[in-house]
Amino acid sequence: MKRYSAFAIAKEAFRQHTGWERAWRSPEPKARYDVVIVGAGGHGLATAYYLGKNFGITNVAVIEKGWLGGGNTGRNTTIIRSNYLQDPSAAIYEKARSLYETLSQDLNYNIMFSPRGVIMLAQTHHEVRGYQRTAHANALQGVKTEYIGPQRVKELCPIINLDGPRYPVLGGLWQERGGTARHDAVAWGYARACSDMGMDIIQQCEVTGVRSEGGRVTGVSTTKGDIACTKLGIVVAGHSGVLADMAGFRLPIESVALQALVSEPIKPCMDVVVMANTVHGYMSQSDKGEMVIGGGADGFNNYTQRGSFHHVEETVRALIETFPMISRLKMLRWWGGIVDMTGDRSPILSKTPLDGCFINCGWGTGGFKAIPGSGWGMAELMATGHSPLTEAFSLDRFKEGRFIDESVAAGVAH
Ligand SMILES: Cc1cc2nc3c(=O)[nH]c(=O)nc-3n(C[C@H](O)[C@H](O)[C@H](O)COP(=O)(O)OP(=O)(O)OC[C@H]3O[C@@H](n4cnc5c(N)ncnc54)[C@H](O)[C@@H]3O)c2cc1C
């Protein structure tokens, strides 16, 4: 694969950009692979990438029913942070955040990681105490966060209104090295690197069945024919229940729509990410100038990849109190994705009752930030049968009552 560099751009500029190669191949599926990953979202692609990079396993196919990155990975609001409460969560999210720091160099693809800082606003006394507790927990976990007062919030984000009538800003949990990255670029960067290692990314190919013999996975049936494999990774977010059903087991997952919107582009006015969890809203400004706004998840199960009117209205109405300036903005685009929610709001990275079949799901409203760490841990689990990063997130925890309760950190927020 040709390396991207300033020199390469300059060279191509002199020959009308005729020398660029396709970023990834579009092969037809082979009859057999060592590993098949279902789902070419960020988590599936990152799993494939670290299988190759860390374990030398490259006879891998990533199978995608639509286009790669077209699921939640290309639909999210790109917030990256690792300020979770429980130790296993802090470990995997901080691993991911730290990998994001150098991911552009690692992949030779600019994922536009922008560690501009994330504030989670405390707007009730309950939240003040909750976030102070999280700051202490993060200090013990080696995650750098800080509880800050309202004046510091105002310094970091001058457009904020501290004195809202319902929910004044009382402080916030600040993670200076949290931020955003370009979501499509994360998927594209991993895809390009996987393809370069000889892996096959097969788009427009739906998995319609999971094949097994004597309790062990043997392959998948797809709209492009049967494909045999030794190990199977199911990484399909909102469709996890559907795939688990094909593999013959059940998951404690609910699929619901989560939506977001962007305003018309305006001049730079906000260089941090702000999350207001009490009112279910959060906002950042994209490089194009749009205000990126997200809200809570739908309160009913569904598979519609679109927004619903009442949620847009609720989200914007709630945020206007804290950001009065958005009342004068026009909405430009609005969309939804199907997120996979577990009861304890923590993901599942696990072996399954079907031998050789692994599952990575349950990231719910907040899995974009976890992509590199999740891929790293999932690859280790699939290659060796064990990973310290994923151990606590096994399916067994729902039988044994070992919940990893992140309902405060991840219930509605990202
Ligand atoms: C509106 C919105 C805002 C969000 N904001 C944030 C945020 O700010 N920060 C954050 O960290 N997270 C956020 N998230 C969550 C985040 O986007 C997801 O947790 C993450 O992208 C999940 O990635 P994935 O690779 O598991 O799933 P996906 O990207 O959804 O990929 C799964 C893929 O599997 C494919 N698939 C499904 N069924 C089949 C089949 N039968 N055969 C083949 N392929 C199949 C799908 O087409 C899809 O491409 C947000 C989500 C949404 C919807």
Query: Which among 357, 252, 348, 275 is positioned nearest to 43, based on CA atoms?
Result: 348
- Placement of tokens 């619901």 in the chain: 256
Residue whose CB lies within 8 A of the most ligand 1 atoms, among 220, 236, 342, for a mutation test: 236
Joined tokens for residue 57: 């396993």
Query: Can you give the pLDDT at residue 296?
Result: 78
Name the average pLDDT for the chain: 95
Per residue in 218-273, pLDDT (tens digit) is 999 999 999 999 999 999 999 999 999 999 999 999 999 999 999 999 999 999 99
Q: Does 360 score more than 60 pLDDT?
A: yes
Q: What does the block give as tokens for 228?
A: 């045999």
**Distance of alpha carbon 250 from its chain centroid, rounded?**
23
398-405 mean pLDDT: 94
Who lines ligand 1 at CB under 6 A? Answer: 38-44, 63-66, 70-73, 75-79, 206-207, 235-237, 239, 243, 258-260, 294, 337, 339, 363, 365-369, 414
pLDDT computed for residue 124 by the predictor: 95
pLDDT at 68 over 80: yes
The pLDDT assigned to 407 comes to 77
User: From ligand 1's centre to the CA of 235, what distance in Å?
Assistant: 9
* Distance (Å) from CA 388 to ligand 1 centroid: 24
CB atoms within 10 A of CB 148: 18
Instruction: Name the token pair of 111.
Output: 């994922």
Kindly indicate the confidence band of residue 310, based on its pLDDT and cuts at 50, 70 and 90.
confident
For ligand 1, atom 48, which residue shows the shortest CA distance?
71
Cα of 12 vs centre of ligand 1, distance in Å, is: 34
| Its pTM surpasses 0.75 | yes
Mean pLDDT value across residues 115-122: 98
Rounded to the nearest whole angstrom, what is the distance from the C-alpha of residue 339 to the centroid of ligand 1?
A: 7
Q: Which helix (H) or strand (E) holds 123?
A: none
Residue nearest to atom 52 of ligand 1 (CA): 76
Q: Give residue 410's pLDDT.
A: 55
Q: Is the pLDDT of residue 411 over 70?
A: no
Indicate the Cα dihedral angle 323, 329, 334, 338, nearest 10°.
0
Mutate to test the pocket of ligand 1, among 94, 204, 368, 378 (most ligand atoms within 8 A of CB): 368
| Whole-number pLDDT of residue 309 | 82
Distance 368 CA to ligand 1 centre (A): 8
pLDDT-derived band at 113, boundaries 50, 70, 90: very high
Reply yes or no on whether the pLDDT at 414 is more than 60: no
pLDDT in tens, 155-169: 999 999 999 989 999
pLDDT (tens digit, 9 = 90+) per residue, 24-45? 999 999 999 999 999 999 999 9
- The answer to whether residue 6 scores a pLDDT higher than 50 is yes
| Share above pLDDT 70 across residues of the chain, in percent, rounded to a whole number | 98
pLDDT of residue 394: 97
Testing ligand 1's pocket by substitution, the residue of 190, 365, 374 carrying the most ligand atoms inside 8 A of its CB is 365
What angle separates helix 87-101 from helix 371-384, to the nearest 10 degrees? 110
Give residue 408's pLDDT band: very low, low, confident or very high (50, 70, 90). Answer: low
Q: Quick one: which of 127, 145, 13 has its CA closest to 83?
A: 145
Cα 243 to middle of ligand 1, angstroms: 15
Q: What is the mean pLDDT of residues 373-395?
A: 98
Mean of pLDDT values over 100-113: 98
- Count CB-CB contacts under 10 A for residue 18: 6
- The pLDDT tens digits of the residues spanning 194-227 come to 999 999 999 999 999 999 999 999 999 999 999 9
pLDDT digits (tens, 9 = 90+) for 49-63: 999 999 999 999 999
Provide the residue type at 179 as one letter: G
Q: What is the Å distance from ligand 1's center to 129 Cα? A: 32
Q: What is the pLDDT of residue 299?
A: 82
For 7-70, give the DSSP string.
HHHHHHHHTTT--PPPSS--PPPPSEEEEEEE--SHHHHHHHHHHHHHH----EEEE-SS-TT-
Only one residue has tokens 């098949």, namely 36
- What residues does 32 pair with on adjacent strands? 228
CA distance 49 to 199: 9
Flag whether pLDDT at 103 surpasses 50.
Answer: yes
